[in-house]
Amino acid sequence: MSRARRHLTRFPLLLAASACSVLFLGGCDHLHQDMATQPKYRPLSPSDFFRDGRSERPLLENTVARGSLANDEFVIPKDSNAFPLEVDQALLERGQERFTAFCTPCHGLQGDGNGMVALRGMKHPPSYHIDRLREAPNGYFYDVITNGFGQMYSYGVQIPPRDRWAIVAYVRALQLSRDAHVSELPAELREKLSQGDSAK
Amino acid sequence: MPQLFHRSANSTARISILAVVILATLGLTAVLGGVRSPNFTNQYLTRDQPIQFSHKHHAGDDGIDCRYCHAGVETSATAGIPPTKTCMNCHSVLFNNVGYLAPVRESYSTNTSIQWVKVHRLADYVYFNHSIHVNKGIGCSTCHGQVNQMPLMFQASTLQMQWCLDCHRDPEKNLREKKDIFNMDWKPAPDQAEKGKLLAAQYNVRSVRDLTSCSTCHR
């Protein structure tokens, strides 16, 4: 067989070999995983080591997590009207943001208990604008957020203590928004209000 | 001395050279295209989950904030999958007897985890941190797409390094105001170029040199 002929017969071989190498390269993802899949736990990854299959370990009973002692200052008795933080615009805005994320599904944007999830069939929570809740102390709201009440489960896990107080402050602001007299407003706001009336 | 090569060897040689060039081009195109295709990146792929959870229903129709479930997104590297208790906040009452939520009730009553299938999987040598992105003006939908329109969750982006760098080289085009971070319908305004510059200064976004440094994402 001449050399040229041999070359020709090799051609399909070459073709097959390059096709194989393409496939092979494409399969790299499955071949070299040792860096991409390291023997370590990422958040919430399953574990063969622990009996319940969780690498994320649940809190042990009667233990205090590191750093959570700092939250002691936020713990106010249920029947106390104290407020552990300085109330300013920033805190109220934080409270509004947290309230919108965590509370409005049931309590509604205005706190009257007409949130979207309540409309879907949850029991409507009481409006914040009833006398019982207007007169309830600050500690009561903090306690309900922390431990839940009736149909409402506890929100202690989702909302850290400082944010709970921000929400309490915002709920107070909501209550005031429905229970304030025009005469209590600063002069410039009063003027704005009367202008708004005439504009209608 | 007889000729070493037959005359046809000339054209065979030319065809061979041409074939090598064509094959190499095709091969390279196939490989490069292949690794960018959804087959390889898992983009647009929905997974079978223990419960066919709909983000469209919860985040879209009901308007529940992302953070209601993914509460860690602003403070930790991972946004977090909510504990079953978060589901039960509503589903202890709503749809509390339907069959397809049975795994939720079982998980809650037996204190076992629901084994969700991870949709957004980064390689272990990537140290991605949600909180830094969310706190510096990158909204959820920039990477995750309009989750409020996804009945079943899928990966909206390629999650490849090229895609990460695309933003790390020019983050200003994606920066939003604080109030829009969790807004799924946010689109860049026509004046995004100027706005982006202002926001980058406001958020103290690091220089492109820092953002594209290897150790920003790899340790």
Please give the full DSSP string across chain A, using - where no structure is assigned.
--HHHHHHHHHHHHHHHHHHHHHHHHTHHHH--TTTS-SSPPTT-B-SSSTTSBSSPPPPTT---TTGGGGGGG---TT----SS---HHHHHHHHHHHHHHTHHHH-TTSSS--HHHHTTSPPPPPTTSHHHHHS-HHHHHHHHHH-BTTBPP-TTTS-HHHHHHHHHHHHHHHHHTS--GGGS-HHHHHHHHHHHHH-
Q: Of the segments A61-65, A70-74, A191-195, B71-75, which one has the largest average pLDDT value?
A: B71-75
Mean residue pLDDT of chain B comes to 93
Inform me whether the pLDDT recorded for A197 exceeds 70.
Answer: no
Whether pLDDT at B7 is above 50: yes
Q: Decide if pLDDT at B171 tops 70.
A: yes
Over residues A168-178, mean pLDDT: 94
Q: For residue B24, what is the nearest residue in chain A, using CA coordinates?
A: A18
The pLDDT tens digits of the residues spanning B120-153 come to: 999 999 999 999 999 999 999 999 999 999 999 9
**pLDDT at residue A191, rounded to an integer:** 85
- The pLDDT of residue A140: 96
Q: Are A162 and A142 in contact (CB under 8 A)?
A: no
Residue A15 has pLDDT above 50, yes or no: yes
Convert the pLDDT of each residue in B45-55 to its tens digit.
999 999 999 99
Pick from A91, A59, A73, A62: nearest CA to A166: A91
| Domain range summary for chain B, segments of one domain joined by + | 9-36, 55-81+119-217, 82-115
Describe the crossing of helices A138-147 and A161-177 by its angle, rounded to 10 degrees.
130
* Residue-wise pLDDT tens digits, A93-134: 999 999 999 999 999 999 999 999 999 988 899 999 999 999
Q: Quick one: average pLDDT of B60-77? A: 94
Domains and CATH numbers, chain A: 77-195 (1.10.760.10)
Q: CA angle at residue A112 from A74 to A132, to 5 degrees? A: 65
Question: Does B15 have pLDDT greater than 90?
Answer: yes
User: What number is the ipTM of this complex?
Assistant: 0.85
Give the nearest partner residue to B93 out of A35, A100, A122, using CB atoms.
A122
Answer whether A122 sits within 8 Å of B124, measured CB to CB.
Answer: no
- Does A58 have pLDDT greater than 80? yes
Q: Is B77 at the interface with chain A, CB within 8 A? A: yes
Which of the four pLDDT bands, split at 50, 70 and 90, describes residue B71? very high
pLDDT of res. A11: 63
Band of residue A200 on the pLDDT scale cut at 50, 70, 90: very low
Sort residue B45 into left (φ over 0), alpha (ψ -120 to 50) or beta.
beta
**In a 3-state reduction of DSSP, which class is residue B154?**
coil
- Cross-chain residue pair B94–A117, CB shorter than 8 Å: yes
* Total CB pairs under 8 A between chain A and B: 105
pLDDT (average), residues B59-86 = 94
d(CA B63, CA B60): 5
Cβ contact B120:B67 at 8 Å: no
CB contact under 8 A, A101 and B30: no
Mean pLDDT score, B66-79: 94
Nearest CB to A36; choose among B12, B19, B125: B125
Q: Do A44 and B89 touch (CB under 8 A)?
A: no
Q: What are B172-207's pLDDT values in tens digits?
A: 999 999 999 999 999 999 999 999 999 999 999 999
pLDDT confidence band for A194 (50 / 70 / 90): confident
pLDDT at A31: 58
Q: Which residues of A touch B58 (CB under 8 A)?
A: none
Give pLDDT, residue A6: 54
Q: Which of B6, B8, B90 is the best residue to mutate to test the A interface, defined by the most A CB atoms within 10 Å of its own CB?
A: B90
Q: How far apart are CA A133 and CA B211, in angstroms?
A: 50
| CB contact residues (below 8 A), chain A span 43-72, against chain B | 43-44, 46, 52-54
User: What six digits make up the tokens of A107?
Assistant: 């309590």
A44 and B78 within 8 Å at the Cβ level: the answer is yes
Question: ∠A138-A143-A149 over CA atoms, to 5°?
Answer: 120
> For the residues A63-67, what does the mean pLDDT come to?
86
pLDDT of A21 over the 80 cut: no
Model confidence at A22: pLDDT above 70: no
By residue count, chain A amounts to 200
DSSP string of B17-71? HHHHHHHHHHHHHHHHHHHHSHHHH-BT-----SS---HIIIIIIS---HHHH-T
**pLDDT grade for A3, boundaries at 50, 70 and 90:** low
pLDDT for the residue numbered A5:
54
B119 CB within 8 Å of a chain A CB: no
Tell me the C-alpha distance between B9 and B12, whole Å.
Answer: 5
For chain A, the C-alpha Rg in angstroms (whole number) is: 31
Residue A1 is predicted with a pLDDT of: 44
Q: Does B89 touch chain A (CB under 8 A)?
A: yes
